[in-house]
Amino acid sequence: MSQDVTPFTPAGARHRLVDVPGGRIHLVEQGTGPLVLLVHGFPELWHSWRHQLPALAAAGYRAVAIDVRGYGRSSAPDAVEAYRIGAHVEDNVAVVRALGEETAVIVGHDWGSTIAADSALLRPDVFTAVGLFGVPYTPRGGMRPTDAFAMIGGDEEFYVSHFQQPGRAEAEIEQDVRGWLSGFYATLAGDTKPASGEGAVFFVPKGGKLSDRFVTDRPSWLTDEELDFCAAEFERTGFTGALNRYRTMDRDWEDLAGQDGAPVTQPSLFVAGELDASIAWLADAIKAFPSTLPGLVSSHLLEGCGHWVQQERPDEVNRLLTAWLDSLDGPTTTQGPTRTR
């Protein structure tokens, strides 16, 4: 594929399509050295790692950002079952192999954090270390996920429950893809998120829409040109592939029965924005890191930062990420969470 797919593809990076068992995965790679696989979340693309690709390449790493299956230029199977966690793990392993490598460090954000953690859990022979951004590792537990989410919100519906019925969320989002994306990005960003009641955006009132509580400002870290690109990709693909990740959560729970409560033992990194609502909801998961992430090297909460950490604070994230990667070549010591301005 052409190097000029977008005007903000980092200089020296190139776009490729590689074969995987479920079709093809589109990726953007830059640099040479140990492989670092970057996995985005919802609703994003490889583009969310645009600031990390050149920084990792300059630090001596081969940085590869993928479009997760169902997104962008990667294959988007029709069946909901095609998006269960095992399929994503297989995609990641196949990408590593297609690039001529045996092992990689895997780093994920949002849903990509979960995919990265489970890739490390299920294939420790391939993924030798794992970085988690925004969403902490939560081992498989005793309650079926949709049952747990149905208990949240009282008279309103938690967004994960809202996403379960095929076609329902798509009908809302695809009426105005650019506007919906802009509102979703802005509402979860540190510089534009609501001053109070920010958690309410994740709950849908009866007869309402998720977007009813979005803010209207575009976040400062996303240009109009970049928003246009993201919107154009989702206009072309639709949102079903992206939303199907939510719709396989119960299947994942069944598939991971053999890993109930299992820790991820490889060296790990956790970075999140202190204003990210996920940090409040999943506070117990972070407290459990000594047992669930026994290989944790460092944990960081970025002050004033929202959900989109690697886009909101690229320089700071690049510094933390490259320092952690460099530490993997020598002795590591587990550190408690630190707050960074």
110 is catalytic: yes
Token pair, residue 37, equals: 């696989």
- This model's pTM is above 0.85: yes
pLDDT per position as a tens digit, 188-197 = 999 887 654 5
Domain presence at residue 18: yes
Instruction: Please state the rounded mean pLDDT for residues 257-275.
Output: 97
Domain presence at residue 1: no
**Residue in 26, 47, 88, 307 annotated catalytic:** 307
pLDDT per position as a tens digit, 122-156 = 999 999 999 999 999 999 998 999 999 988 878 89
- CATH number, domain at 297? 3.40.50.1820
47 is catalytic: no
Domain that holds residue 175: 14-340
Domain presence at residue 6: no
Domain presence at residue 56: yes
In total, how many domains does the chain have? Answer: 1
Domain presence at residue 25: yes
**Residue in 91, 110, 118, 252 annotated catalytic:** 110
Domain presence at residue 7: no
Domain presence at residue 204: yes
Domain presence at residue 9: no
Q: What is the pLDDT of residue 199?
A: 65
Q: What is the pLDDT of residue 194?
A: 66
pLDDT per position as a tens digit, 45-95 = 999 999 999 999 999 999 999 999 999 999 999 999 999 999 999 999 999
